[in-house]
Amino acid sequence: MSKPKIAIFDFACCEGCQLQIVNLEEELLDVLGGADVVEWREAMSEKSDEYDIAIVEGSITRLEDEERLKLIRSRAKVLIALGACATIGGINKLKNNFDLDEVKTCVYGKDAQKPHLATELTKALDEVVPVDFYVHGCPIDRKEFTYIVRCLLLGKTPEIPEYPVCVECKAKGNPCLWEYGQVCLGPIIRAGCGARCPSNGFRCFGCRGYIDNPNVDAAKDVIEKYGLSVEQLKTKMVLFGSQQEPTIHE
């Protein structure tokens, strides 16, 4: 039986999630040993239009990106969104809070109107094409990536947490950062990172995106308990929450 073919692509991003894959070092050979990697710009020069699994990093910010992504989707049986830029639009979606002409002028100055610098509102991959699996985080968690790829190569469906970061944080016995005046987004953000930030004294800033069904009442109770408003909480959600559906309403 021939090995499944994997291709790795990138759009607008810092390529930090691909770097996490490269950093797997020897484990990378073990994980991808059950597949043929046929294209991966960051690590090899070969290219191919034939692949079974497309792993796509980055968000979509130009019309030509949309066309390229649709082509990738049409060739792949399975499409994996890699990292927050791809899964939720990531930091790149901050741009969507401003007028696009203002953004372009701020970045490119007098050259802003040159055609090759045209830009559009940032989109996550699933705003353009269907996505089969998501590797969340900015950057991704290497263990979660290897788990998802191994599952797919074994024909299994990976299970991604459907509960909030607080669950992992409490399980580690961390003191809650709200007690120390930090507005932590753990109650509404998808777990799976092992509560990486709160375990190191930093608030969760939401890089894994919102859980599908957050306990909004419990989140409101926490906000009220610490004397904050929903509006104050929303200011903390801008970094990774711009133009995601707001999950907490007044």
Cα–Cα distance for residue pair 244/87, rounded to 1 Å: 11
Quote the CA–CA distance of 84 and 242 in Å, as a whole number. Answer: 12
- Binding ligand SF4 by CB under 6 A: which of 32, 56, 60, 189? 189
Contact residue for ligand SF4 among 198, 210, 211, 219 (CB under 6 A): 198
Q: Which of 40, 95, 142, 186 touches ligand SF4 (CB under 6 A)?
A: 186
- By CB under 6 A, tell whether 12 contacts ligand SF4: no
Q: Which of residues 89-118 bind ligand SF4 (CB under 6 A)?
A: 90-91
Q: Which positions from 133 through 172 interact with ligand SF4, judged by CB under 6 A?
A: 137-139, 165-166, 169-170
Written as six digits, the tokens of 90 are 């990531």
Give me the sign of the Cα torsion angle 198, 200, 203, 204.
negative
Does 75 contact ligand SF4 by CB under 6 A? no
Within 10 A of 111 (CB to CB), how many other CB atoms are there? 11
193: contact with ligand SF4 by CB under 6 A: yes
Tokens of residue 42, six digits: 């960051």
For residue 182, CA distances in Å to 134, 192, 203, 232 come to: 28, 21, 6, 12
Residue nearest to ligand SF4 according to CB distances in the complex: 186
Contacts (CB under 6 A) with ligand SF4, residues 34-73: 57
> Tokens in use for 153?
């190569």
Residue closer to ligand SF4 by CB (options 63, 171) is: 171
* Tokens 């459907």 sit on residue: 162
Residue 51 or 58 having the CB closest to ligand SF4:
58
Q: Which of 95, 123, 208, 236 is the binder for ligand SF4 (CB under 6 A)?
A: 208
**Residue 76: strand, helix, or coil:** coil
Note whether 132 and 152 are within 8 A (CB). no
Residues of this chain that bind ligand SF4 (CB under 6 A): 13-17, 57, 83-85, 90-91, 137-139, 165-166, 169-170, 174, 176-178, 184, 186-187, 189, 193, 195-198, 204-208
